[in-house]
Structure 1
Amino acid sequence: MQVPPTHYPSRMTGSNSSGTASYRRLDVARRRAQLIRAALGLFAHRAPEDVSLDDVAVAAEVSRPLVYRYFPGGKTQLYEAALGSAVAELTQCFAVPEEGPLTRRLAGALDRYLAFVDEHDAGFSALLRSGSVVATSRTGAIVDEVRRSAAGHILAHLRVPEPGVRLRMAVRTWITAVEGASLTWLDEGKQPAVEELRDWLVDHFVALLLATAARDAQTARVAAAALALEPADGAVASLARRTVALLTEAEHLLPAP
């Protein structure tokens, strides 16, 4: 049943002579964007199956029939639209300027990515776990677009126009690790501190890059070029010192002098 417009005073332009409020008229693009923003706000902190179109209507301060007018496919269509909007934001997380040490760029990208995860905690979990009853093949494709875009940005940071299979595999493996770590971080009540999580993920990338470089000539060249730009007191040097200290404790793993 349609909810009378008078239930939504903050979206009204005022009252007519009979005291009945009227909707603010928005063009199609703005109204659609308004509904998507309202849905995103709900999906951010609740699983999609726990959000109804009535909830979206109330959040947007419009009637339920108006939501259907713009999204005749119902909640699935609205969820896909909201997801697409979120993906547009997520795909920009790794689009940081390609200048300065690689680890500093990765840290900046992760700051943006983890801020998104923090702000959209429940929605992020539902999205990546693919457990929602609203999930479709299209939502899966939308999510994979984030991964492909992130991989493209990272390879651009590494300045590799034609990466080989091992380097591509390493980058995609790291992206999967970032997703998994983010989900675990949410499960653990957002512990450890986000800065510690970020720094650990940067270390993880460096370690994965070096492990791949030990077996792949192209990755070795890429790693050498990237590490040459790292400061002597930066993240890579810190990781190297800690790694050497661990290997020193396990002397049987170190090569003979």
Structure 2
Amino acid sequence: DKNNDKNNDKNEIIASKIWLNPYSREVWRYNVDLAIEAAMLGFDEIQLDYIRFPAFVNLDRYNLAVAPADSKVEIINDFISYAKTRLGEYGIPLSIDVFGLTTSGSDLGIGQDFSSLAAKVDYISPMVYPSHYAPGAYGLAVPEKEPYFTIFKSMQDAKRELDGRSEKLRPWLQDFSLRHVYGVKEVRDQIKAAKALGLDSWLLWNPSSRYTWQAFRRNDLVAKKQQVSVVTDRGKGDQNVKVDTRKSNAEKDESKERVTDRT
């Protein structure tokens, strides 16, 4: 009955009644068994998602048995430690996805403590999609329209939380559109922001697996050499200058000049 399924909590954004119990050791074993099976099949990394409690909901509807002494943060941390220990026998890296706002130091009530989780895994990937930030976040009127600054500020927070362990940081970036259309510029702006903070690793997400490949094309695939004539001040007359306008990457122009005397 749809009427009986309605929940009057205005903060609730999840409609499903099904959520695996984070307190259940049986659930832990089942998930890690699947990860081990993937490792044995040859996958070179295990990445865990949804390692959290339900967000923005009344947990009573999920009938999650809670041990009084265990906080949500402790339970999620314990599960990751368990997964890391078992997967360690197979020598395979373990990475996790977390909510973007956890980089600011709060577990958001879902048990994801950014700093302590990062200490237990090889890579941590906060989902810092600009479209998921509320107006005013990071002092931005509409973060979705400011992809560079949203990523830059969120990664600043993340690096501060990691305190020197930023090699573990590999953010999820946005390659999909919600209220604001995302294209080449928006995707590149996010990548530029990550690189500006020394992050060379990142992941892109598009729920339909339709990615903006143009954002990754090197300019040297399409650029043409230009030939111009200049006069030097060395009294040798005209010189032929070939300017190679190809770029080594999409962000930085590394033009090279080759000068040949014609005197």
Whether the TM-score (by the shorter chain) exceeds 0.5 is no
Structure number with higher helix proportion: 1
TM-score range, shorter chain: under 0.3
Instruction: Please identify which structure carries the higher strand content.
Output: 2
